[in-house]
Amino acid sequence: MRAPRVLLRVDASLELASGHVMRCMTLAKKIAEQGGECVFVCRDLEGNMIDAIIAAGFAVNVLTKQPQLASDCIDARLGATEAVDAKQTLSAIALFKPDIVIVDHYALGKLWEDSISARVVFVLAIDDFTDRPHACDMLLNQNHGVTPHSYAGGVLPENCKILAGAQYALLRPEFAEARALDFAKSRRNILISMGGMDARNATAWVLNVLDEYSLPKGWSVSVVLGGASPHREAVETQLQALNLDADLLVNVQNMAELMTRADFAIGASGSTSWERCAVGLPAIIVSLAANQDGLAQALVDAKAAHRVVLGDTMALSQKIAILTSDARARQAMTRAAASITDGHGVERVAKAITQMLVQSEGKANGQQF
């Protein structure tokens, strides 16, 4: 079997954040390592990660933001209508002639996939919800606690292959490698990572709470932000005024290493949750969007994390006090987190794609790609 040609349709923006692009790049790198060829299709939205994708060695077909017209129902997360996006993506498909299309986008679903599926061997949708209708051949939901039985009848096509659960989390290899380190030893460090964009500037709130709480002597703080974060300069200014031993790290390429240096993290409950689990890092999760609530609660139920609401200063202070003072509590959370995913999800997904392509090759007979 020849190596596949894969087109990935994904966006990052201030609204969508960066996790979708990060996990798609991880999967694309694995496919490329196995000889496949990958291109991305991304819209030029504010906060996009197009430059980062290009820097990783992938070509990007850039879609322009559709002008707002009174007659158009444009989804702000997409910068176009779903139908227009499908038409533009079909133009990219005609040029690249992929075997597989991978779509990771909350604003693209069944209508878009119906338009695309006739032009490729199969469509893989990556989604974090279990109630969005799809017309895909394979669906990946990497969230803990999700199973194929989580999907009600009619949501997915009858023969859709479902990859469900955190064992399929798309993580870079360094997170699996970091599992071997000893987390029993205290580093006296707190890692703050509220997502690459942190559009709501939750980082500022967390830093103020830490400053007011007065961390025990010898504790330090590492703050991670993406280069496109709209609050980067404000956080830099804030850190200069606070009485914290803190460093600001921007566009880091060594997140796994930073996690191994920390005793616990305070972070958003997005895709980075699985990175923390893979290395066994205890966490205080701050839910920043309604679509993260289920994920956050699953981690709390598994005793892998604490959860607080953005703005609840007392609750955050209480959780910080527990994790800075109780090494046994941290170790228990480490074991619980590490049991959720081993960091080898991207290998499992790549293998499933290869198997699906072999099984689906007959679909391509007589079609023009």
User: Against a cut of 0.75, is the pTM above it?
Assistant: yes
Collect all residues with Cβ–Cβ distance below 8 Å to 169 and sequence separation of at least 6.
Answer: 142, 271, 274, 277, 278, 341, 343, 345
Torsion of CA 224, 77, 138, 255, to 10 degrees: 0
Q: In what order do the strands lie in the sheet with 5-10?
A: 59-63, 37-43, 5-10, 100-104, 122-126, 138-141, 161-164
Question: What pLDDT is recorded for position 15?
Answer: 83
Ranges in the chain, pLDDT < 70: 1, 67-72, 181-185, 362-369
Amino acid 150: pLDDT: 96
- How confident is the model at residue 11, as a pLDDT? 96
Check residue 72 and give its pLDDT: 61
Tens-place pLDDT, residues 192-245: 999 878 888 999 999 999 999 889 999 999 999 988 788 999 999 999 999 999
Q: Structure tokens of 344? A: 């080898």
Contact, 82 vs 112, CB < 8 A?
yes
What six digits make up the tokens of 343? 């960091």
Q: What is the pLDDT of residue 68?
A: 61
Q: Give residue 225's pLDDT.
A: 92
User: What is the model's pLDDT at position 69?
Assistant: 55
User: How far apart, in whole angstroms, are the C-alpha atoms of residue 320 and residue 47?
Assistant: 31
Contact 308, 285 (CB under 8 A): yes
